[in-house]
Amino acid sequence: MSSSSPPDPRATYRAAGGTNGLIALLVAMTAVGTLSLNILVPALPVLAAKLQTDPGNAQLTVSLYLLSFATSQLLLGPLSDRFGRRPVILAGLALATLASVAAIFATSITALVIARIVQAVGAATGFVVGRAIVRDLYERERAASMLGLITSAVVVVPMLSPLIGGILDTLFGWESIFVVTALFSFAVFGWALAKLPETRPATAPSTPGRFAADLRALAGDRRFIGYVLCGALGSAPFFIFLGGGAYVAVTMFGRTSAEFGVWFALASIGYMAGNFLVSRLTLRYGLDSMIRAGILISAVGAALPVAFCLLDPQVGPMQLFLPQVLISFGNGLVLPTSAAGAVSIRPEIAGTASGITGFVQMALGAAVAQLIAHVLAGASSPLPMPAIMLGFCLATGAAFLMLGRRRPPA
């Protein structure tokens, strides 16, 4: 190797701070996106009144944020492969900070929605590029273990951010929410500026022609498609629960939104437990074994409420929502391992692979969340919700078969 050759990114990072610093920084980078999404939700009614708009327009600050967050990953991943992880991360965090500041001073719903769209583009960098960084630094199974550990920490953010947003809105007004997101984004920007070196492999594509060829090879790889579908289809039950659970709890069962919040928190704990188990067991059993186990557990969790609904028309929240913990636990096994598998097919373009994986997952999630709302609106029982969940669990099993038996290189 010549003296001018780029240093090994793994050695570079370990010299700059080591594993513990990596975990903490990637958690913070990923949390920028989830915090910015969920913290505004409790303030939407007040925001609509203050900006003199209807609730539907106010909802665009969330729905268009999610759409922008999903689609921008298709661009951010390839950019990080072409220009490097560090510049894309720093530019994204800076953009998220500036967009949050702009949102503070928005005087119309149009200005606020535009700020939120831009904020989502910046916030998505931590989510999509962070997974590529993990694959840059760790081998296949170890990358899944690290992603599981990071996700188990990040999942706390969507659990707590609505509470934080509600408190801020009540005490200081909706603008204070964006003060907090601006400060958080800026703090993470400063942290990344000081501690995150470049981790992109030296073999990453440097020309548009090389990149296009690698992208075609990735899209034509059956195992890559299998991992992407496992992650997307496997996450669909969560989005179904997100889109239809509150309607079932409040409208069909006559319970309070607070009670549904408890069930949602329990499901989140199940997901966190699955992520944590991935961080402990993947090195021993491998990615595909963890995905298989997660699919089976999720399918059992979805089959139970289907059976309860068929056996007892007066099924209650306990029979319907408690199995959701099993489904979420299975999701916690499937999602980080599927993501690690997808970005390991061609590690030199891990950013592109991460962007495609994230986009497909979130786009399908948004579609099924909308679908279940329409299905339940015309239903006389909650049966369609677990039945559709079970269908997606079976579809995930079919996608898993695409992985075959050939073990890919690390």
CATH number for the domain including 331? 1.20.1250.20
pLDDT of residue 408: 47
Domain that holds residue 128: 9-204
Residues 160, 236 within the same domain: no
Q: Distance (Å, rounded) from C-alpha 235 to C-alpha 358?
A: 11
What's the CA angle centered on 61, arms 154 and 109, to 5 degrees? Answer: 150
pLDDT of residue 368: 86
Which residue, of 204, 223, 255, is where some domain finishes? 204
Residue 209 lies in a domain: no
User: Structure pTM?
Assistant: 0.79
CA distances for 390 relative to 17, 131, 268, 298, 385, angstroms: 44, 28, 19, 8, 9
Q: Distance (Å, rounded) from C-alpha 71 to C-alpha 63?
A: 12
Q: Distance (Å, rounded) from C-alpha 222 to C-alpha 265?
A: 36
Residues 121, 242 within the same domain: no
Phi (first) and psi of residue 374, to 5 degrees: -70, -40
Residues 221, 355 within the same domain: yes
Residue 408 lies in a domain: no
pLDDT of residue 3: 43
Residues 167, 191 within the same domain: yes
Domain total in the chain: 2
- The 10s digit of each residue's pLDDT in 119-140 is 999 999 998 898 888 888 888 7
Residues 184, 287 within the same domain: no
Residue 359 lies in a domain: yes
pLDDT of residue 9: 54
Residue 4 lies in a domain: no
Residues 163, 218 within the same domain: no
pLDDT of residue 262: 81
Residues 263, 311 within the same domain: yes
Q: Please, are residues 252 and 383 in contact by the beta-carbon 8 Å criterion?
A: no
Residue 317 lies in a domain: yes
Residue 364 lies in a domain: yes
Residues 199, 323 within the same domain: no
Q: Distance (Å, rounded) from C-alpha 26 to C-alpha 57?
A: 33
| Rg for the chain, CA atoms, rounded | 21
Which residue, of 204, 228, 253, is where some domain finishes? 204
Nearest of 279, 8, 23 to residue 141 by alpha carbon: 279
Q: Distance (Å, rounded) from C-alpha 236 to C-alpha 327?
A: 11
pLDDT of residue 19: 61
Low-confidence stretches of the chain (pLDDT < 50) are 1-6, 15-16, 407-410
Residue 260 lies in a domain: yes
pLDDT of residue 2: 42
Q: Please, are residues 282 and 145 in contact by the beta-carbon 8 Å criterion?
A: yes
Residues 228, 147 within the same domain: no
Residues 152, 73 within the same domain: yes
pLDDT of residue 14: 52
Which residue, of 204, 233, 256, is where some domain finishes? 204
Q: Distance (Å, rounded) from C-alpha 265 to C-alpha 246?
A: 13
Residues 200, 240 within the same domain: no
Phi (first) and psi of residue 248, to 5 degrees: -65, -45
Residues 194, 218 within the same domain: no
Residue 396 lies in a domain: yes
Phi (first) and psi of residue 302, to 5 degrees: -80, -35
